[in-house]
Each structure stands twice: as C-alpha cells, then as structure tokens.
Amino acid sequence: MPPKRKRAEPTVASTSTRSTRSSTRKAGTTSATQISNAAEANSQDLDPEPPVKKPRAKAATSKAATTKTKAAPKVKGKTAEANVSEDLPSVNGTATPKSTLSGSIAANEYSPALALATFGKYADEDSPEVIGPEGFSRLCEDADASLEGPLPLIIAWLMDAGEMAKITKEEWTKGTSKLQIASISQLAVAASDLDKLLIQNLPPLKKSATASPSKRNLTDEPYDRTAYWNHAADSKAAFKSLYSYCFTLAKSSPASRSIEKDTATAFWTVLLAPQYPIVTDIVEFVNEKPNYKGINKDVWSMILDFCHTVKPDLSGYEADGAWPSMLDEFVQWKKEKSA
C-alpha cells in the first residue's frame, strides 16, 4: 500500500548505506516491484508503530473460532446452536443469545423473558394480558395442533387455563415456568408427548440416562419432563385428571352444573373414541335424542367408567350396575339397533 512505501523507502536506503554508497545508488534504481517487496518485508520487521487493531482482530477471530468450535456440539444430527436459533424467539427484534454451559450450548433454553415474548406474539391487541380465541387459534396452528383434535385441550390443561380458548398471562407464566418452556415448538412437543401417552395410549418415552430435572439445560430434554414422568407412572389417573378438567373447561360459567350436548359429544370424540370404540355409538345415540340438552358432571364422569367396563358388544354391562338412566337407555337402543 502507498503509505507503507513512503515509510519503507528511507528504511531500504538506510540499510543499504551500511554497506557502500554504490549500493545506495543501486537501491535508487531498484524496480518498483522490488521496492514493494522490500517495503512489505521491512515494514513487518522494522516499523516502530505497527497497527494495534489488526493483531487484536486476529486474536478475536481466533478466539471466536475456538469458542464456536467448542460451543457447537452436534445434537441428533444438528448442532445445538441451530436448535436454539430455531426453537427460541427473538426479544424486541434481537436474536436470542446462545448462552453456554460447561462449554456447550443448551439445546432448548428457558427464561421468563423469552416465555413472555412468546406470549406477547399471541396476546390480544386490546387485552395484552390475555390470549383470546383468535390468538389461541394462531398458537394452535403454529404448534401444529388441529382444533378438531385433542391437542388444544391438552395445551389448555398444561397451562391450567380457566376458560376455553383463552390463556391469561398469569396462567401462561406459571405453566411455562413449570415446564421450563419458552417457545411454541417446545409447547408442541410437551402436548404431543401427552397426546401419545394419554389419548393414543402408546408406551411412555424412555428416560434419558442424563436426564436431570434440576439441571435441565445440561441434558438433551426439550423441556422439563418431570410432570410427564409422573403421568407416565399412572397414566390412568392422569387421563382421568385431564378428562375431569375438560368438563370444567367446557362450562359456560363456574356456576354452571352442565355443559352443552354438542360440546360434550365433541370432547368425547377426541378424548375417548381413540381408545374406546363404543363411544362412537354413544355419541350417535345422544345426538339422536333431542331430549338431552346438556350433560351434567355425574353423567360425564360415569361415561368414562362405562367405557372402562363395557365392551362394544355390551359385554360387561349389568342392568343393576347403578348406571345413569341415559346409559341404560343407550344399552337398550344399541340392542334394538343390533337386532
């Protein structure tokens, strides 16, 4: 570069005069290429004021490269860094920082701030403290949770929502803190885990050998699965809890003693039908009877017991089993239909 040549020329001449004057004159006739080469060589060795920023930049680059190499271990075919950037939202338009623990990046990081940032994405514009029906619908869409399936009910259960298709900021904060999730992708995994365990009746997941609920970020768990393992230990009781919760969720008000027939049959279809085929007949029967306007808590609870006890061919049914009259009428209806 020109600045280096100007400093280098007297340096070359000074070096030459230490030998002879004739060598100095020869230096004056040196080709431009040779001067450039000499200037570059001498500027590295003799320049009394070398640029300060360049060595630091190189050191920083080297350090960054070293840090990146250490901080991006592969996790299931992808680097942990990629997983963090995909799963976690940005806050105020700034990319989520990728913190490191013991030299590795947490595959799924949680913080209250990140969880609230996700909440804000779906909260109502007029009521920023609540995710309303429209926002809940978008949330389910982003979580790949069909509104016609059980996943929206499971999401509501995970957040302990008090109203259907609504999640308050307080409910979200408590729910995400318990599960240690900050993104919709993590919520989708948590809901899917319970769908497979409780609705599809599939075998539970296998515990990771390194799973540590108190130090979740040091494992490959996508969220804190403590509650999941508790449900897996007694899936029958867990399903009963979910089923009972859905009745409360479906009530039009806390004081209501029954839920609408259409809501009840829709819930039975997504919650019970996958495991109990007889539910399809029960739903058909209820829909045919205009005198059934609503379903109370007693009938709701006994439907689950009926499904556990009675097979699709009605084996297991006892007339003196103290079933609700609606179920006795159903059995008579099914017998006549099958005759």
What are 154-188's pLDDT values in tens digits?
Answer: 999 999 999 999 999 999 999 999 999 999 999 99
The answer on pLDDT for 327 being more than 90 is yes
Give the pLDDT of residue 209: 65
Question: What are 86-124's pLDDT values in tens digits?
Answer: 343 433 333 333 333 222 224 468 999 999 999 999 999
Return the CATH fold of 253-338. Answer: Recoverin; domain 1 (1.10.238)
Delimit the domains of the chain by residue range: 2-39, 112-239, 253-338
DSSP one-letter string for 110-131:
--HHHHHHHHHHHS-SS-TTEE
Confidence of residue 204 (pLDDT cuts 50, 70, 90): very high
Angle between helices 21-28 and 2-17 (to 10 degrees): 160
Question: What are 270-315's pLDDT values in tens digits?
Answer: 999 999 999 999 999 999 999 999 999 999 999 999 999 999 999 9
Give the pLDDT of residue 336: 95
- Computed over every residue of the chain, the mean pLDDT equals 77
The answer on pLDDT for 152 being more than 60 is yes
Confidence of residue 211 (pLDDT cuts 50, 70, 90): low
Cβ–Cβ under 8 Å, residues 173 and 104: no
Confidence of residue 52 (pLDDT cuts 50, 70, 90): very low
Report the pLDDT averaged over residues 192-217.
81
Give the pLDDT of residue 252: 92
Dihedral, CA of residue 85, residue 87, residue 88 and residue 90, to nearest 10: 60
Q: Do domains 112-239 and 253-338 have the same CATH topology?
A: yes
Taking alpha carbons only, the member of 300, 298, 296 closest to residue 257 is 296
Report the pLDDT averaged over residues 264-272.
98
Give the pLDDT of residue 85: 36
Confidence of residue 42 (pLDDT cuts 50, 70, 90): very low
Taking alpha carbons only, the member of 282, 201, 280 closest to residue 236 is 201
Phi, psi of 75 (to 5 degrees): -130, 110
Alpha helix ranges (H) inside the chain? 2-17, 21-28, 32-46, 53-70, 80-87, 112-122, 133-142, 151-159, 169-179, 184-194, 226-233, 235-250, 261-271, 278-288, 297-309, 325-338
In angstroms, rounded to a whole number, what is the distance separating the alpha carbons of residues 21 and 29? Answer: 13
Question: What are 245-263's pLDDT values in tens digits?
Answer: 999 999 999 999 999 999 9
Give the pLDDT of residue 108: 64
**CATH 1.10.238.10 for the 112-239 domain, yes or no:** yes
In angstroms, rounded to a whole number, what is the distance separating the alpha carbons of residues 39 and 15? Answer: 12
Give the pLDDT of residue 220: 76
Give the pLDDT of residue 321: 87
The answer on pLDDT for 269 being more than 80 is yes
Give the pLDDT of residue 101: 28
Question: What are 217-234's pLDDT values in tens digits?
Answer: 445 799 999 999 999 999
Give the pLDDT of residue 109: 84
Give the pLDDT of residue 147: 97
